[in-house]
Structure 1
Amino acid sequence: MLEIYIDGATLGENGKSAASFIAKNKHVCIEGYTYIGEASNHEAEFHALLFALTTLKDNYQSEILSIRSDSQIVVDTVEKAYTKNSTFLKYYDAIKELMGYFPHVFIKWIPDKENKRADALARKGLLTETTVIQSCS
């Protein structure tokens, strides 16, 4: 099973945004961040989940994913498989398709204080305006 921590960061209400993830277990530790341009913070949070799933789908399809997010909106949307928000719906549809690559995907809300590394990575994406995927320790 891979534990995955995701986060999004935005400057202002709808400004420059970035997303990040950390995926780890006893044998694997991968982290990444990506600059996504102008978006709301909620969109950045959804993008973080998309970024993680897209990055992992080619090499880790046999893994069960346990996703942790400090975004209640992302967690609720994925758990309920529903949103009224048309903007979030396009993200959810893509997330649902990507989740199909894995045997099981669980998502859980966590407080900000348990997501500090993912937050720092998302902020690095904001500062550098780049995409990086790398091994972590």
Structure 2
Amino acid sequence: MIEVYIDGASAGNPGPSGAGIFIKGNGLNKKYSIPLGIISNHEAEFQAFLHALKICIEHKFTVVSFRTDSELVNRAVEKEFVKNELFAPMLQEALQLSKQFDLFFMKWIPSRENNVADELARKAIQKSRTGEK
């Protein structure tokens, strides 16, 4: 099984933002820092999830377990619903993408267990500030 740790972060709300994605399992150890531009922290969390789903699909992973410290994203996926209409299109896209896996799991974890993804998201904020890709 592939474990995917995701985190979104913003310097300001909204502010320069980034996604951190750490994928491990089956001998893999991949890290991604993706600048997201100026968005809110919650948007960054959803964008991190979307980017991670797409990366996993590109790599043809079929059994994945996502780990997030975002209660909002975890709850939204679990209930397949989000109150804030801003997040609804991102949730719907994520739910559609998640159907491409043979087995898909989402689990909330405490922030202290998501250090690698958090560090990658913070690096992505720096890239976002400097315009680096």
* SS state at 1:52 partner: helix
Partner of 1:66: 65
Deviations 1:110-137 (A, max 9, x none): 1111011101000001112244xxxxxx
TM-score of the aligned structures, taking structure 2 as reference length: 0.92
In structure 1, stretches of 5+ residues that fail to align are 132-137
Partner of 1:122: 121
Amino acid at match of 2:85: S
CA distance in 1, matches of 2:91, 2:6: 15
CA distance in 2, matches of 1:128, 1:15: 13
In structure 2, stretches of 5+ residues that fail to align are none
Correspondences of 1:23-38 after superposition (within 5 Å)? 23-38=23-38
Contact 1:20 1:51 survives alignment (8 Å): no
Partner of 1:10: 10
Q: Work out the number of aligned pairs and report it.
A: 130
Deviation at 1:28, TM superposition (A): 1.5
Deviations 1:48-93 (A, max 9, x none): 11010111102224x2111110000000000111112111101101
Deviation at 1:100, TM superposition (A): 1.6
Amino acid at match of 2:48: A
- CA RMSD, Structure 1 to Structure 2 (Å): 1.1
CA distance in 2, matches of 1:127, 1:59: 27
Deviation at 1:33, TM superposition (A): 1.4
Q: Post-superposition, which runs of at least 4 consecutive aligned residues in structure 1 deviate over 6 A?
A: none
Partner of 1:135: none
Deviation at 1:26, TM superposition (A): 3.2
CA distance in 1, matches of 2:57, 2:99: 9
Deviation at 1:27, TM superposition (A): 1.8
Partner of 2:85: 86
CA distance in 2, matches of 1:34, 1:112: 19
CA distance in 2, matches of 1:82, 1:128: 32
CA distance in 1, matches of 2:51, 2:31: 11
Correspondences of 1:97-116 after superposition (within 5 Å)? 97-116=96-115
CA distance in 2, matches of 1:13, 1:116: 21
